[in-house]
Amino acid sequence: MCRITPSTFLATLLALGLHVASAQAQYVRTCVSANGNDANTCHCSQPCRTFQRAHDQTLPDGELTVLDAGGYGPVTITKSISIVNDGVGEASIQVSGGTVGITVNAPAAGYVNLRGLTIQGVGFGGGTGLRFNTGFSLTITNCVVRNHTGDGIRFTPFASSNLAVSNTLIADNGGNGILVNPAGSGTGPVKVALSRVEMYNNSRDGFAVEGTNNRDATKATVVESVAAGNGRNGFLARTTSGTLNQEYSLMLVRSVAVNNATGIAADAVAVATTSLRVGQSTVTGNTISWSVLGNAILRSYGNNRINGNGDGDPAPPTIAKK
């Protein structure tokens, strides 16, 4: 017969207690509140005060919910997670000192979803709104990213990744509104989809697909979106160097480029295949309506409205109707 001494029993209880505490340290769903405290568990009955603390207490594939309006601080994301504000007021991240509001360093198969957030640059150098380094998918919905000294959104994946942005404002940034710039010579395609995105008054490009062609294809589709008042291009597809014949492409549909230095542009080094296709879109009020450099290709479906630009509105080459 096994004899259990009091000391053994106590040790067993302590061990079980520690195990239970460890199991309860993270939750599938956590919450933040302006009245929360980072000393809390982040369970929605005991909300935390910052996104970072709540993120750290959330299990992979879990959800972080905003309970009320407030500023919740920058966050580095290292797992599959959703950060959600469904209309309780502004849930903001204030960025200063050249820092980054949201950094995504998720696993290769990680999914990150952001909804209803404001990433606001404030004094002392607003830095970058959001930077994506690793992960399989980033979805951004109903967000505002503005007033940063760098890019609003900088998507720089090392491998196959996907970016989807909808119903979002990217404005008043010192760099690009949205820059898709795959890093290094990673493998796997990068796919981007924008729908109802507004990119206003950014110092460089409103939306740019840019990088070397020493990696697999990068393809972007933009639908029902606006690039206005940007310092360089409204919409740009460009490759800058490389030796492989991989395609960088941008499809622009039912969108508007207005009051930019150049409305729409494509640029490529000699061996690259960089294409910009445009249909049912308006290009107006720009200093230059459209530009093609190097080995790039720009094609119109013949149903665009190109007028009121400073270069006399030349007609771009058209794609044969089928």
Residues whose CB falls within 8 Å of the CB of residue 45, separated by 6 or more in sequence, listed in order: none
Domain boundaries, the chain: 64-306
At 213 the pLDDT is 57
pLDDT at 23: 42
**Is pLDDT above 80 for 247?**
no
Please, which residues have CB within 8 angstroms of residue 177's CB and are 6 or more apart in sequence? 151, 152, 153, 170, 171, 199, 200, 202, 205, 206, 207, 227, 230
Report yes or no: 54 and 38 within 8 Å, Cβ to Cβ. Answer: no
Instruction: Report the percent of the chain where pLDDT is more than 70.
Output: 85
- pLDDT of 228: 98
pTM attached to this predicted model: 0.90
Mean pLDDT of 151-159: 93
According to CATH, what is the number of the domain 64-306? 2.160.20.10
Q: Say yes or no to pLDDT of 49 above 60.
A: yes
Q: What is the pLDDT of residues 213-223, one digit of tens each?
A: 555 678 999 99
Q: For the chain, what is the mean pLDDT?
A: 89
At 136 the pLDDT is 96
